[in-house]
Chain A
Amino acid sequence: MRDTLTSLRYRYWPDHLLGEILSKRWTETAIPVILLLIVGFALSRSIDHFLSPASLADTARQAGEIGFIGLGMALVVIVGGIDLSVGSIFALTDFCALYLLDVLNWPVPAVVVATLACGALLGAVNGVLIGYLRLRAFITTLITLIIYRSAFDLLIQRYSNSIAAAFPDIPSWNFIGGGDVFGIPSVALVYIAIAIFGHIFMTRLRPGWHITAIGGSRRSAYNSGIPVRRTIALCYVASGVLTSIAALFFAARLGTVGGDIGVGLEVIVLTATVLGGITLGGGKGSVAKSLVGVLIVLLITNGLTTLNARGGINRMALAGILLVAAMVDIRWQKNRTRIISKVYVAPTYHALPPPPPTEIGQGGPFEQNDKLRDVELIGLGRIEAPEDVILDRNDNLYAGSRHGDIMRFFAPDYQRMEVFAHIGGQPLGMAFDRQDNLYVCIGGMGLYRIAPDGTVEKATDETNRSMHSVNDDSRLRLADDLDITDDGLIFFSEATVRYEMDEWPIDGLEARGNGRIICYDTKTGATHTALRGLKFPNGICVASDGQSILFAETFGCSIKRYWFAGAKKGTVEVVMDNLPGYPDNINLASDGNYWLALVGMRSPSLDLAWKMPGFRRRMAKRVPVDEWLFPNINTGCVVKFNEQGKILESFWDLRGENHPMITSMREHRGYLYLGGIMNNRIGRYKLDNADPNYVQYDKRWGKAS
């Protein structure tokens, strides 16, 4: 009863989603967005007409103006600096626009151009000082803040009366200040255009990447040849220009030059920037974050003003939010990887009946023996991690190595060894096609093809993305073993979509159906997912009927058969289950049966733990990784089975010295060649009663004429 409940709970409750969602980059933007929604909702409930078109248009106008400055600040913060002088630049460029228009009576286009140029110039002063002279951003912009502000004060003492006396009535100027298109204020339209450009610039264009790179690590950026000084200087220029755009709209809207214009603006913009989640110190941030931050700050300050809160309350609210946002941001940045690694492992319920006996004296097909005691060793100490081994029609032996190479041992004595091809990822399962091309599954990379002359080509490294998966499962993470059908379809297993090559045993801890079988069509080059939700699918072998494949589910401890053609197309049938160990590769035997490697044997403790998902989750959260309970992959064996699911024979290395771990085996001319992913050798075992002329290549593709 209790087991049933546990099993239902873990079957239908998606535990694994939490870790996957948290590891997404967009969660960082999601937090400020949620805050924005909460603030917006709270204010719309407490203020009448808060969401009326007039009110929204008014908010949009202010948001546009502050938003431009926010974009500039975001840029400067992302590049690793800070710009405190924005408030003063805002005041000066506002004055510049009104002076040119009201006192000098320039035409509007000239005013616009001149104001932008003025902003660029003021920003360029910061840029040259910080970018080229490498002054500290904080202290430098602090000084320019004072200089610009006092310049502004001096100027308005002389000209404020003449500006206040003028009432320009120019349609284009009025449109900038108060016009709209279909109800959308002019400033919001321009902001949207610039924000879209800014987003593309930061995420798709080279200069944007340079900016992020400099903020992330200035020295590395310099060493990789990015023009650090120029880029930084230009960021401050851009900040000045964006601020002057804001000032232009502000000037057109209000047309005044009061003494306190832009005082404290830097605090508001800085609050918005931090609130949006743009990390101080650089390297992280986006246009969307800047916009969200500005909206939050604006909604709160406007909302409080509408609610007739005293100025002090307004300030306290702003400060409180800044503090909470900064704290959340810092805690999250600091603990993100730790939290994710704690919640990412999501074990599930996996019950297996007691395994068949393997002890000596108990009988049964799995009874231990010491047949592998005297295997011959090939390449001892010269090869590392040959997960799979294969022989071509000329009797040469191929094996993958941990260093990302395919090694070739030459017949007849397999003493001479060479690097056949260098790939760069760990080679796992291998198979020859009809044209002597070697197809290899590369962990972390995908399916690769090696021509007989050793040239490496990518066959496929992606498949269709499933709709309901949070993790991007279109990329292949852990292609494991493959076989090729007569029609040129390659079926290969992807062991897990949730873990990388180096952490594959953790998937066994989870015991969730994270794996899948993928089909690559050599004729069309198309890839699609054939089966999903498998518990670490591993070995694959085309069955004798040519219409189905046999595949092993390592942590399902079972062998299954999948029909890809014929009358039973699309169905899956269990061939063997409740194996005493974890099945790995499957290959053809000379007598029409199949070889199967058991990479490790089941243990009562893990079998029990598999029925206790809560226990395993606590373990993953509280105990360091190297003390976790992992599946045993130290001792195993090779068995021979037939299509009816009957075990015929087993081969053990009792002392585990000569050939300790077996992940694959290949029969060739009366010998069995053994590979193991933790081994530094390839084993060669003389089979009794085996066809001395059996060559797998010839059996599959016919003898070469």
Chain B
Amino acid sequence: MKRLRFNQQEIVFAVFAVLFLAFSIFLRGFLTPENMLTLLQNVAVLGILGLAMALVVIGRGIDISLIAALAVPPGLVLQMVQNGYSLPASLATAVLLTIAFGLVNGWLIAYAEVPSLFATLATGLLLAGLGQAALFQLDVVQWSDGMKGFERLGQGTIAGIPTSIVMFAIACVVVAFLLRQTRWGAYIYAIGDNPYAARVTGIPSRPIIVLQYVVAALIGCFAGLVMAASVNSMPTRVFNSTLIYDVILVVVLGGIGLSGGRGGVLNVIIGTLLIGTMLNGMTIMDISYAGQNLVKGVVLLLAVITDSFLNPRNEETAQQGDI
């Protein structure tokens, strides 16, 4: 008989299913269409960021600077419109800033060979500091009249589905297409699986890595626009929150190993759903924010420990310096 083995994705999915069932049975008001939509709406931005992170993690990197990309370029759009520039010009500037930021990240990681953890930690600080010091007048950049119409990116519904969920879905489709249907996506998997082998095979690994961070930054900027549209402002202090840790947890819990080369969009969706279900259930149970974080952390820890027992790390093939 074949031995039963679960991978992390299945475990997380099982945890999600159990949680979902338990909440549906024991929590009044959980399994209603309205609540389901709220649940998804709340995690849409997290999910979009998870996609960006997944892209990078599959290529054996990590992008801590995503929150900066989320906060600063969209904040710049709002600020510029407030200062009287037209919306398209502001958007173009923000996109250019995002691309430049992604290029810097990519260059540092691919060409200067700084570990991605450090490069993005530092560039994130740099971009957030730039926004704080030079771009924004207030910590919360307010919506202005020039932005009229743009709020539909995050508010309202399309065919009965909240727009932010639609945006998440669009992002999922785009990233899935990039990863599964393009040569570029296949290269990312190859680089994540074994960067040295990928390079020897003739894959232009450095430009691919740069592109990876540029796309991640663009997705982060997109998430920021959705977020700004849904709350009608850009709270740039979001950079100081622990949001980036939530993003990493979405990705890792979903089953995309940090050593790269594994996983896909489905994993991000599963991870997002688990986090979303947990948060939503606890909100209905009226648990405080800190309490929610505590429960979230403990559940995640248990999931990671379970995974390490079911799929122990192979000491022989573990890479040196793999933290």
Contact = CB atoms under 8 A, between A and B. Distances in A.
Interface of A: 80-82, 129, 133-140, 142-147, 149-151, 153-154, 157, 217-219, 222, 263-264, 267, 270-271, 274, 280-282, 310-320, 322-323, 326-327, 330-331, 334
B304 A315 contact: no
Interface string B44-79: 000000000000000000000000000000000000
Contacts of B300: 143, 146
Nearest to A334: B113
Contacts of A310: 132-133
Nearest to A216: B320
Interface of B: 108, 112-115, 117-119, 121-126, 128-134, 240, 242, 245, 248-249, 252, 258, 288-294, 296-298, 300-301, 304-305, 308-309, 312-313, 315-316, 318, 320-323
Interface of B is mostly: helix
A92 to B, nearest CB: 12
Contacts of A157: 288, 290
A323 B298 CA distance: 34
Nearest to A217: B320
A143 B113 contact: no
A225 to B, nearest CB: 15
Given A81-B323, A315-B125, A264 B240 contact: yes
B118 A322 contact: yes
A311 B132 contact: yes
Contact of B122 (A143, A147, A281, A322): A322
B293 A150 contact: yes
Contacts of A145: 242, 245
Contacts of B131: 312
Contacts of B315: 134, 218-219, 222
Given A136-B258, A137-B323, A280-B118, A327 B134 contact: no
A319 B321 contact: no
B71 to A, nearest CB: 12
A330 B109 CA distance: 11
B290 A280 contact: no
Contacts of A274: 118
A327 B112 CA distance: 6
Given A135-B305, A154-B294, A311-B132, A218 B320 contact: yes
Contact of A319 (B123, B258, B291): B123
A135 B129 contact: no
A154 B291 contact: yes
- With most chain B CB atoms within 10 A of its CB, the pick from A129, A136, A264 is A136
B128 A315 contact: yes
Query: Which 9 A-B pairs rank lowest in CB-CB distance, beginning with the nearest?
Result: A281-B321, A312-B133, A312-B132, A315-B129, A153-B290, A150-B293, A319-B125, A316-B129, A147-B297
A147 B130 contact: no
Contacts of B289: 153
10 contacts: A135-B305, A139-B252, A150-B297, A151-B290, A263-B240, A312-B129, A316-B129, A318-B125, A323-B114, A326-B115
Given A147-B298, A150-B290, A222-B315, A80 B126 contact: no
Contacts of B118: 270, 274, 280, 322-323, 326
Contacts of B252: 139
Contact of B294 (A80, A151, A281, A330): A151
B123 A323 contact: yes
A398 to B, nearest CB: 47
A535 to B, nearest CB: 42
Contact of B133 (A82, A316, A330, A334): A316
A151 B293 CA distance: 9
A142 B322 CA distance: 15
Contacts of B240: 263-264
A219 B316 contact: yes
A320 B122 CA distance: 7
Most chain B beta-carbon neighbours within 10 Å: one of A134, A222, A319, A327: A319
